[in-house]
Structure 1
Amino acid sequence: MLCCAGGPAKTDEADQRTIKDSVEAVMAVTNVRLRGMSLLLQNIPHRGGNCLHTRLSKWCRLAGEGREGQYAWVLDSPINQFNAQTYRRLAFDCTQLLKNDYAERHPEVMEAFLNTLFYMKREMHQARPGNLLLNVVAEYWAPLSFKSTADAIKEVLQSGRMRGEILIMDTQYPEQALATPYAAAVIQQVTTPIWLPNKKAQAESYAKFGVTGKVFEAVRDMGPLSREMVVQQGHQTVKLKMELDGPLKYWLPLLSATQKNLAVAERIRQHLGTTDPKVWVDAFLVAEAVRQWLNTDDPAVWLPAFDYAENQRQSMKTRDAQRWMPAFQKAWKAIQEHNEMEDAS
């Protein structure tokens, strides 16, 4: 909330007490769906000029006088769906925000948004003390760009294990992480770096991560599609390969999102009328396997085939693609041949 108010430099002790009291008032509302920035703003008096109310209003849907704040989309959802007591998993697609030019032009948005994610995961974990928590931070250069979120990462690295927390950070651009002001302190605390192939790796940059000599050469020489990696821990280094051939390829769409399979997942959720992963995940894997086999992105082509394949899979009572897929392919080819013969006649 401090970064939304302009940071500690613009927020005196009186403002901070007001924020604390307002947050407590919002959290006391029993209807979780009503909690949000607009409700918080109602508890903060307007004193004119660049007061606390004015600074926070740009983050609110109901900013006063029928206005919507410039950054209302960041934090002030019309309906709050997050409830720490019921959520066990939390994930956000930050692709558009993580574009470097956006992050540079809107640092206040990035800091507020990232701090909110860290806050939500803390609340979620505190609701279940003793449970294991896996933190996955993609493009970790972004939270390392701000002291507040860099401190949150350092705290997990230093003390998270005592709470059952594990932290995984990744980036496609190690050099970008090095350019952040808080990278050095964080990198020193990472116990197990895993390096993926990088033909464009720069020796000078990788040396700052402790990757030199033959280890650096291995990182640079691995093929981009080899699924090989170099793992370091302490003074030991080993080269590994992740085998995802044969039946395991069927599960890849769950492990690695692309624009194509994300579109398939969204269409399947719409088709089934549910966002419950217990319902749509198996169906999505079937749909993606069918789409790839038909070699098409057109839902008008793959969706009818999916319906047929899903019915066949369920009738066979199996999740094993090596069982239902050949049966589907044989039947679908027969249907297509029959349709072609009818069209010809």
Structure 2
Amino acid sequence: MLNDRVDAKEVSDASQLPYSQQISQTIVVTEAGDYTATLQVHGISFDTMTNAEIDGLNRTWLSAIHTALASPNHALWTHIVRTRQKDVLTHNEYDNEFSADFVKAYNQSLEGKDFFTNRLYLSPVYRLAGTQADRFGLRFASKKSEDYRELHEQAKEAAQRSVAVLQAALKRYHTRQLQSYSRDGGLHTEIGEFYAWLLNHRHSQVQLRPANLSRSLPLATLDFGEETVRIVNGASTTYAAVMAMTAPYTCESIDAKVHEKLLTADFEFVLSQSFTAIPRDAAERMLKAQQNRIESTASNEIQIADIKAALTNLQANKFKMMEHEWILVIYGSSLKELNHHVNDAITLMNEKSIQISRQNGGALIATFWSIFPGAFKHGRVRAMPISSLNMAKFFPLHNYPTGNRKGSQWGKPILVLSTESRNPYFLNLHVSRDRMAEQGIQLNMDDEDDPAVPAQKRQRKEVGNYYIIGGTGAGKTTLKVAMRAALKRRESRDNRPVKIFTLDKDYGEEIVMRAMGAQYFILEPGVPSGINFFQWDDTEETREMIYDVAKWAAQYDTRYELKPSEAIDLKKAISSVFDLPKADRRFGSIIHYLPSHETEYSLHQLLTRWCHNEDDPRASPYGWVLDSPVDRLNLNDSSAYGFDTTAVLKLGYAKTPLMRLITEKILRSAAGTPHVIDMAEAWALLADPLMGQFIDDKSRTIRKQDGILGLDAQNAEDVAESHLGQEFLNQFPTSFILPNSKARAEVYIDKLGLTPREFELVRTSSASDGSVLVKKGNESIMAKMNLTGMDNMLSVLSASTDNVMICRECIREFGPNPRDWLPRFYERRI
């Protein structure tokens, strides 16, 4: 234990590290003259992929390995760093009390959870001398000779090529090279900070200084016992155990998911693996020796056949042989906790038929220092031969998505979702088009190319469009209004509040919209709609919109087609109405400026149906839709608006013009501010000619106005069979798919593009715990927004018909201010 001292621990920590200097923004040279760099890798969301997909990606990774480790001069260190995450919850100021109360309650429900994240790293190393003979020759080389300097320059270039090869091959995995950066007048190094984390088990800034880089890294005191390392950071003490894979180990049948259990472990660790290429002639001798041993000691025909096949493939250059060292450093806050974690790790690896053992004595020290990229001085005592085929599976770059903790162009993440992997998922609606391109997905988005637009407004904005699919009771409405409530921050990243506009159905969002202080409009057949577009600003756009709506109204439910002469008459009539005093302008005035004909299909006669007639209401059955005397659709007094469209969606004559006018007014109100336009059961609107065109256009262009378009549907079939097709769905890179035990593969896989594994998760997951498949391009994760115990909040977020009536009753009694009526609603709700 810790009292059993090992002499080697007296040597200073810095002297055990291999690093000399960081000689460029990205390259570090070791004391031995080797060159290394480090890539941080996002990884792929393997948990929602099929085995066939994983195998295909593994082949790409294998090809990169063969190129990056082309000679004995090449080596590669890989790391998985699993750390406990603190302060993951979002803390914002909101523009209404309900949003603030909801997010506070939701965050409190997560406070007891332990969250972890996995960070993946690749560190290629190019050795100045790859073989023992080369290293022996370097001892006698003149350090000042031109040849020696040329050798170093070639090594540096080779290291840079290795990085370039890996980055090119791993675009899908989203790599980022660690480099130096400026802060507070000094030059700091991300690479050094990565090394410092491995050493000190804590994050620290590392400033580049003229002194040896290794000397800048130690901050903690390391005390090596017989089988435990004590790491002291000031008043904080952490204990570490070092595990290694037990020899001999058979890896010919290794699974690419060999570490999947570790990636979800409830303890912190660093998994370091290092690989060095074995020359082919040496690899052949090794395999033949192994074949001779098997043939002389056993008659295992399967093993003999495997060796012969390996020899054939090696000679055909289908794989390479590597020296592989597997080291797992496990951390605990106490010796008891550490020992518990060690037992858990042994069990997790045993489930994958991998035997690991705890290191002690000198092996503990040697293996600990071997986790550092380029650390050859400690002999890599646990290294054993492995094929490149299995190397690719030992580090397949698997990970669980965590979203973007930094947030989006609108500021911090909306909410944090929990996952089975214990990783937090930082929910943002926006996605990076560059990230989509890395996945092979091209978004058909219109860029702002108008030179009249100020440069700062032409900056590239990312797309945040989304759609939600979930049947009755699956939690579709709860999910989307919870996101919406959390979006109602006092200000976004550029100090502008987000405006919310929702086209609701069946009053499902009425309570939450009113609770957020929104204005909520209910459109009822026969009751004047309160929309008078002739009282809007007189612009060319307004006149064109009125012309389109009037033309549609004339042609509705008839065989009538507007003649060229009538088109001229209509435009003149529109101009004449705009010449009237504002108080006198209304749609009913338009017929006074059209030629009056007695024919059944005259423009005058057909538009009369839409103009209010007090004397004979039967002559104007549609007058309530367009001919309101005063425009009451004011979208300038709040930052949130809801429109219940339940009744009008069933009326073909009302749906098209009202939806077109409402969305036009929304766009004018939203101009210049971040905004969300959300449409419930939007696929019913897509079938409408005017609304279908509007939604299709806005899916590509709303990004330029810093807006987001959100659609939802109960039936996946409605989405899959939309006449706008797959190209339209591609404009919605974020999707939320709720559990559905009746989901059909021909819809979810063939039409919506889910993988078989994603489909299986949707089909078998429970809706009762808030599960939802969050999919951004090809990256997806099954996450949870569990609102169990938040009954008051749920009664607002998921409105039943009874509770809608209670809400309206409370507002009638106590007024429209949520501070007055919402507490009463909580008392009376069902």
Taking structure 1 as the reference length, the TM-score comes to 0.70
Answer yes or no: is 1:14 the counterpart of 2:565.
Answer: yes
Which amino acid is the alignment partner of residue 215 of structure 1? E
Answer yes or no: is 1:46 the counterpart of 2:618.
Answer: no
Q: 1:75 is matched with which residue: 626, 630, 635? A: 626
Compute the displacement of 1:82 (Å): 1.5
Task: Quote the residue 2:756 is aligned against.
Answer: 213
Contact kept? 2:672, 2:705, Cα under 8 Å: yes
Q: 1:236 is matched with which residue: 761, 779, 803? A: 779
Q: How many angstroms apart in 1 are the aligned matches of 2:772 and 2:681?
A: 18
Q: 1:62 is matched with which residue: 613, 618, 621? A: 613
Which amino acid is the alignment partner of residue 217 of structure 1? E
Q: How many angstroms apart in 1 are the aligned matches of 2:665 and 2:675?
A: 13
Which amino acid is the alignment partner of residue 145 of structure 1? A
Contact kept? 1:196, 1:230, Cα under 8 Å: yes
Q: How many angstroms apart in 1 are the aligned matches of 2:613 and 2:668?
A: 26
SS in structure 2 at match of 1:287 = helix
Compute the displacement of 1:160 (Å): 0.9
Q: How many angstroms apart in 1 are the aligned matches of 2:667 and 2:567?
A: 21
Q: How many angstroms apart in 1 are the aligned matches of 2:725 and 2:563?
A: 29
Q: How many angstroms apart in 1 are the aligned matches of 2:639 and 2:604?
A: 34
Structure 1 235/184 Cα, relative in aligned 2: closer, same or farther at 3 Å?
closer
| Superposed CA offset, 1:56-77 (max 9, x none) | 2222222875644222233334
SS in structure 1 at match of 2:739 = coil
Compute the displacement of 1:147 (Å): 3.2
- Pairs within 5 Å for 1:1-345: 1=549, 2-6=551-555, 10-26=561-577, 31=582, 35-49=585-599, 50-62=601-613, 67-77=618-628, 79-83=630-634, 88-98=639-649, 102=650, 106-125=651-670, 129-207=671-749, 208-246=751-789, 248-272=790-814, 274=815, 276=816, 279=817, 281-292=818-829
| Superposed CA offset, 1:264-311 (max 9, x none) | 121122213x4x4xx1x233321232114xx5xxxxxxxxxxxxxxxx
Q: How many angstroms apart in 2 are the aligned matches of 1:244 and 1:290?
A: 19
Q: How many angstroms apart in 1 are the aligned matches of 2:570 and 2:772?
A: 47
Compute the displacement of 1:137 (Å): 0.7
Contact kept? 1:3, 1:108, Cα under 8 Å: no
Structure 1 19/238 Cα, relative in aligned 2: closer, same or farther at 3 Å?
farther
Q: How many angstroms apart in 1 are the aligned matches of 2:827 and 2:706?
A: 40
SS in structure 2 at match of 1:10 = coil
Compute the displacement of 1:29 (Å): 5.7
Compute the displacement of 1:109 (Å): 3.2
Structure 1 148/237 Cα, relative in aligned 2: closer, same or farther at 3 Å?
same
| Superposed CA offset, 1:11-53 (max 9, x none) | 2333334444444555566646x65432333333322321112
| Superposed CA offset, 1:203-227 (max 9, x none) | 2122211123011111122223322
SS in structure 2 at match of 1:169 = strand
Structure 1 83/66 Cα, relative in aligned 2: closer, same or farther at 3 Å?
same
Contact kept? 1:61, 1:67, Cα under 8 Å: no
Compute the displacement of 1:192 (Å): 0.4
Q: How many angstroms apart in 1 are the aligned matches of 2:574 and 2:635?
A: 15
Contact kept? 1:88, 1:124, Cα under 8 Å: no
Contact kept? 2:566, 2:603, Cα under 8 Å: yes
| Superposed CA offset, 1:104-162 (max 9, x none) | xx53433223222222212323xxx4211210011011221033222211222211111
Task: Quote the residue 1:307 is aligned against.
Answer: none
Contact kept? 2:554, 2:560, Cα under 8 Å: no
Task: Quote the residue 1:328 is aligned against.
Answer: none
Task: Quote the residue 1:317 is aligned against.
Answer: none
Displacement over 6 Å in runs of 4+: none
Contact kept? 1:250, 1:285, Cα under 8 Å: no
Structure 1 158/197 Cα, relative in aligned 2: closer, same or farther at 3 Å?
same
| Superposed CA offset, 1:185-236 (max 9, x none) | 4212211011112222222122211123011111122223322110111110
Contact kept? 2:739, 2:771, Cα under 8 Å: yes
SS in structure 2 at match of 1:170 = strand
Q: How many angstroms apart in 1 are the aligned matches of 2:573 and 2:741?
A: 52
Contact kept? 1:59, 1:71, Cα under 8 Å: yes
Q: How many angstroms apart in 2 are the aligned matches of 1:220 and 1:253?
A: 27
When you count strand as a share of all residues, which structure comes out higher?
A: 2
Structure 1 269/141 Cα, relative in aligned 2: closer, same or farther at 3 Å?
same
Contact kept? 1:134, 1:165, Cα under 8 Å: yes
Deviates more, 1:52-61 or 1:162-171: 52-61
Q: How many angstroms apart in 2 are the aligned matches of 1:36 and 1:262?
A: 34
SS in structure 1 at match of 2:780 = strand
Unaligned runs of 5+ in 1: 296-345
Compute the displacement of 1:84 (Å): 5.4
SS in structure 2 at match of 1:167 = strand
Count matched residues: 277
Q: How many angstroms apart in 2 are the aligned matches of 1:285 and 1:171?
A: 29
Contact kept? 2:675, 2:708, Cα under 8 Å: yes
Contact kept? 1:36, 1:80, Cα under 8 Å: no
Q: How many angstroms apart in 1 are the aligned matches of 2:699 and 2:718?
A: 20
Contact kept? 2:699, 2:709, Cα under 8 Å: yes
Structure number with greater CO (CA < 8 Å, separation at least 6) is 2
Contact kept? 1:38, 1:63, Cα under 8 Å: no
Contact kept? 2:769, 2:786, Cα under 8 Å: no
Which amino acid is the alignment partner of residue 704 of structure 2? M
Contact kept? 2:769, 2:788, Cα under 8 Å: no
Task: Quote the residue 1:327 is aligned against.
Answer: none
Which amino acid is the alignment partner of residue 3 of structure 1? W
Unaligned runs of 5+ in 2: 1-548
Compute the displacement of 1:88 (Å): 4.8
Deviates more, 1:58-67 or 1:186-195: 58-67
Structure 1 88/289 Cα, relative in aligned 2: closer, same or farther at 3 Å?
closer
Which amino acid is the alignment partner of residue 263 of structure 1? M
Taking structure 2 as the reference length, the TM-score comes to 0.31
Which amino acid is the alignment partner of residue 222 of structure 1? S
SS in structure 1 at match of 2:632 = coil
Structure 1 29/205 Cα, relative in aligned 2: closer, same or farther at 3 Å?
farther
Which amino acid is the alignment partner of residue 186 of structure 1? F
SS in structure 1 at match of 2:552 = coil
Contact kept? 1:140, 1:169, Cα under 8 Å: yes
Over aligned residues, Cα RMSD in angstroms? 2.9
When you count helix as a share of all residues, which structure comes out higher?
A: 1
Structure 1 97/82 Cα, relative in aligned 2: closer, same or farther at 3 Å?
closer
Q: How many angstroms apart in 1 are the aligned matches of 2:798 and 2:576?
A: 41
Q: How many angstroms apart in 2 are the aligned matches of 1:6 and 1:188?
A: 33
